[in-house]
Structure 1
Amino acid sequence: MKRGVLLVAHGTRVPAGVLAATCFAEGVANRLKAQNPLWENVLCRLAFLEISTPDIYAVATQMYQQEGIRELYILPLLLLSAGHALADLPRIIDDIQRDCPHLRVRMSSPLNDHERLVKIYQQHIHDALQQESGIDALLFVNRGSSYPHSYRIFQQIVQQTSASFPDLKKTSAFFAGLGAGLSRAFHRLEKSGVRECLVLPHLLFPGRLSAQLDRQLKEWAMGHAHLHFRSAPLLGESDELMDVYAKQIVLFSLRRAVQTV
């Protein structure tokens, strides 16, 4: 049975975000094939949930009709399980399955190796501290979700990451959903007497939210000269995270402990 892998990114109107997602997906595919001989000839493609093209349905049906794929592994390039992974993707998969009757589709959960994600964050903090010893606080910023489970997982990541840096103050902020917004987090930092804050975006690729974050950081800094921000790289810039996703594909195909459609 001919297998294929479909990596699914969120999508953005920002060209740099599309390019970053494309490069990241290529990195995941290259690592998958280089590290696992049985996957050397597996077809890997990238699609987007919304806004950007190509979309998931178009790529999946093309892989089925033109490439002869009969077993398709879908891996969401998402950091947490929320509305897209729990509702939108299953609905799209239903449409694919309806129009591709001989295609077996399996969807993995989004990123599930949170320990490796914590290590990536910790490395970002170590790197920043080597460049700027005056950092006295960490600000973790998430896109946000109305799903309590996603909120709890993110807070666990924050706690585990910051546990290695007990001398640094920490707080978190969200663009939407549960949790405090950025303005509230800024006020907390100011009230705590923070002077130099490292911002850790819980985002994979450049897009509307990363641009909004940069804008709000600059606006706050202009009105509060005593509080300085510096931002860690986006998570999609991490080679280690490419390895994490590549290994997740292999593991979920072996365990078959995934959603089978």
Structure 2
Amino acid sequence: MKAILYIGHGTRSKEGAAEAKQFLSSVINRIDAPIQEISFLELTKPFIDEGFERCVKRGATEITVIPLLLLSAGHFKEDIPNELAPLQKKHPHIQVKMADAFGVQGRILDAITELVKDTAKGVNIDDSLLIVGRGSSDPLIHEAFAQIKKGLADRLGISLVHVCYLAAATPRLKEGLEAISNEAAGRVIVIPYLLFAGLLLDEVMESVHHRQQQGQAIIYTDVLSRHRVIQDIVIERVTGKEPADAASYY
């Protein structure tokens, strides 16, 4: 029997954990599969081993792992496989396959473009963008964000676009905000390249609010999971085809 095991990153934020679980519940309700379980890599229960064992107890003979990760970095390449390895050894009769991370996709960039336009009530040539990634020591992350940067600049017609990170890569958020603020002619639009709310989003919000209080014209968009296309991508990862009710709206 086929099973789906969703793996989120996890967070210390109760709000962020609840949001991720609600998102996955919505996905599960849109998929016709006999066994579907939720798990998290760290910080939020149930963890991967518990989710995997639940699939086994429910009669799974084949488990498809769906990582809720925007980009392929250490969590995708090392951490999740390391968690799955002893479980596969314990249950050698169960076939396990893992879907790809989302990667840089045109429809995700289209969704972010919609988020920006909705938040900013339209954009103009004087506006600038600051894309804030989670961060990773994987050098390919910088290549991915270079693609994201170009894709959003082209879609929005904005020439001043910077990228910064919240951890494990530079420039960090404080440096990124300072640099783009010194160059910006108009508003600064901050894009948290994150799936869900949590402590990392809180850090972005606090930094933006601080600058707003100082009189700067700066705003931030919502997290990516608030756009319907993210659900559609997860469903496509599970089923191998675009969902019949796929749509591009909030």
Same fold (TM over 0.5): yes
In the TM superposition, 1:98-247 aligns within 5 A as 98-112=89-103, 114-130=105-121, 136-167=127-158, 169-222=160-213, 224-225=214-215, 227-247=216-236
Gaps of 5+ in 2: 242-250
Cα RMSD of the aligned pairs, angstroms, is 2.0
Q: Which residue of 1 aligns with 2:44?
A: 52
- Determine if contact 2:104/2:147 at 8 Å carries over to the other structure: no
Structure with more relative contact order (C-alpha pairs < 8 Å, separation 6 or more): 1
Distance change in 2, residues 1:115/1:132 (3 Å): closer
Distance change in 2, residues 1:67/1:174 (3 Å): same
SS in 1 for 2:156: coil
Q: Could you tell me how far apart the structure 1 residues matched to 2:81 and 2:179 are?
A: 39
TM-score normalised by structure 2 residue count:
0.89
- Determine if contact 1:3/1:71 at 8 Å carries over to the other structure: yes
Q: Could you tell me how far apart the structure 1 residues matched to 2:123 and 2:139 are?
A: 35
Q: Could you tell me how far apart the structure 1 residues matched to 2:80 and 2:72 are?
A: 11
TM-score normalised by structure 1 residue count:
0.86
| 1:10-41 CA-partner distances (Å, limit 9, x unpaired) | 1111111111111111222233x2xxxxxx23
- Determine if contact 2:3/2:33 at 8 Å carries over to the other structure: no
Q: Could you tell me how far apart the structure 2 residues matched to 1:45 and 1:139 are?
A: 35
Aligned pairs, number: 241
Q: Could you tell me how far apart the structure 1 residues matched to 2:69 and 2:219 are?
A: 24
| 1:128-154 CA-partner distances (Å, limit 9, x unpaired) | 342677971111100111111122112
Identical-residue share of aligned pairs (%): 24
Gaps of 5+ in 1: 34-39, 253-261
| 1:45-95 CA-partner distances (Å, limit 9, x unpaired) | 11000011000111101210x200010000110111111111111111111
| 1:109-165 CA-partner distances (Å, limit 9, x unpaired) | 211361111111111122134267797111110011111112211220121111122
- Determine if contact 1:173/1:180 at 8 Å carries over to the other structure: yes
Q: Please point out which of 33, 40, 43 is paired with 1:41.
A: 33
Is structure 2 residue 94 aligned with structure 1 residue 94?
no
